[in-house]
Amino acid sequence: MKDQLQALADEAREAIAKAQTPQDLEAVRVSFLGRKAGRLKSIMASLGTVPAEERPAVGQLAQAVQREIEELLTAKAGQVSDAPPPEKKAKRAAARPAAEADRLDVTLPGRAPHVGARHPMLATMDELIAIFLGLGYKVAEGPEVENHYYAWQALNYPDEHPAMDEQMTFYLNNGLLLRSQTSTMQIRTMEVEPPPVAYIVPGRTYRRDRVDATHHHTFYQLEGFKVAKGITFGDLKGTLIAFARALFGEKMNVRLRPDFFPFTEPSAEFAVTCTLCWGEGCRTCSGSGWMEVGGCGVIDENVLRNVGYDPEEVSGFAFGFGIDRFAMLRHQIDDIRLLWNGDMRFLRQF
Ligand code: DAH
């Protein structure tokens, strides 16, 4: 019987070592120590067959075996309890740094979202557009890459005319060029729409200018033109004054001085009251009290003919100016390059 108990202990040790889950251990416990049908119980059932003088020793051995099995079960229980299989354990360990990083610390101050703002150039452009929409103009846009006809010829520039030199631009290999003025759109618009027309054309223009505080190779212009029966130079001046006052207030005035442009006759240079000194004369306006912003004039009859209009029937005026210039006046910006270099320290101020 002692041999049976020793064998039972060996088997139990092995079974407990193999057990992987709490369920396995419970099965081992029931099988070896179960009170009703446990194997230890069934061995002890035949204690009566053991000679009386050996019984205490056998009893002690049985108790020792039972205690050992119980201890082994308890020890093993600590290892298998809810422990995931080894490979899962490894995955969990690997996921831990990410989980730590993702953990939400509700005590941290919030992160304010960065709210953007419109670029001062485009905001100014929208302001100008709104004024002209109010005066009954429509908005047109057109190509920045142009050909010789729209850039010069249709605008009444004779071939080789030096007026083109004032607007040296970028030429592409195929004879096309980047437009140096939005006046090109006078032609493209009137070509496809009969009079009366009243349009503004905001858009990018290019010139091979040396970049400095007031010049940039890329800039924005706003062109405007109106053609109908009986339009005169007086309508032009009234329109420019209405525009300048809508933008800067009633103190504004407009000065027109003779100039030359191939596509207008007569032509004028267009200046507005200096918004820094209001006409007193200051450093910015070189003491004149005026700031030159663009050109204008009565549309040349040749231009009207080029787009199929009859100069005996209709007449019109046109004007064009740099939007950058107005953006700078509006926000007291002293260097045009700030409008183009994307410096966030500058842009965040708007
Ligand atoms: N396109 C001219 C320039 O860029 C400005 C200009 C002058 C536009 C006279 C006009 C105009 O429409 O009539 O220098």
109 in a domain, yes or no? Answer: no
Give the burial string for 104-128 (b: 16+ CB within 10 Å, else e): eeeeeeeeeeeeeeeebbeebbeeb
Residues 324 and 219 sit within 8 Å (Cβ to Cβ): yes
Neighbours of 41 (CB within 10 A): 15
Q: How many whole angstroms separate alpha carbon 159 and alpha carbon 176?
A: 16
**pLDDT classification of 81: cutoffs 50, 70, 90:** low
Per-residue pLDDT tens digits for 248-291: 999 999 999 999 999 999 999 999 998 888 999 988 788 999 98
61 in a domain, yes or no? Answer: yes
58 in a domain, yes or no? Answer: yes
| Cα 279 to middle of ligand 1, angstroms | 24
Pick the range with the lowest mean pLDDT from 35-49, 75-89, 164-178.
Answer: 75-89
Average pLDDT score over residue span 224-246: 97
97 and 164 assigned to the same domain: no
Number of structural domains (the chain) is 2
The token pair that represents 254 in the structure block: 């407009």
Please tell me the predicted confidence (pLDDT) of residue 118: 92
Per-residue pLDDT tens digits for 86-104: 565 566 666 666 777 778 8
* Nearest protein CA to atom 8 of ligand 1, as residue: 320
Distance between first and last Cα of the chain: 98
Per-residue pLDDT tens digits for 303-326: 999 999 999 999 999 999 999 988
112 in a domain, yes or no? Answer: no
Q: Which of 40, 73, 101 is the last residue of a domain?
A: 101
Give me the CATH number covering residue 341.
3.30.930.10
| Cα 263 to middle of ligand 1, angstroms | 8
Residues 274 and 288 sit within 8 Å (Cβ to Cβ): yes
* Nearest protein CA to atom 14 of ligand 1, as residue: 295
39 in a domain, yes or no? Answer: yes
Ligand 1 and 319: CB distance under 6 A? yes
Please give the model's pTM, rounded to 2 decimal places: 0.69
218 and 138 assigned to the same domain: yes
Please tell me the predicted confidence (pLDDT) of residue 96: 67
200 and 334 assigned to the same domain: yes
Neighbours of 61 (CB within 10 A): 15
67 and 126 assigned to the same domain: no
The token pair that represents 313 in the structure block: 């029937």
For 115, which DSSP code?
A: P
For 175, which DSSP code?
A: S
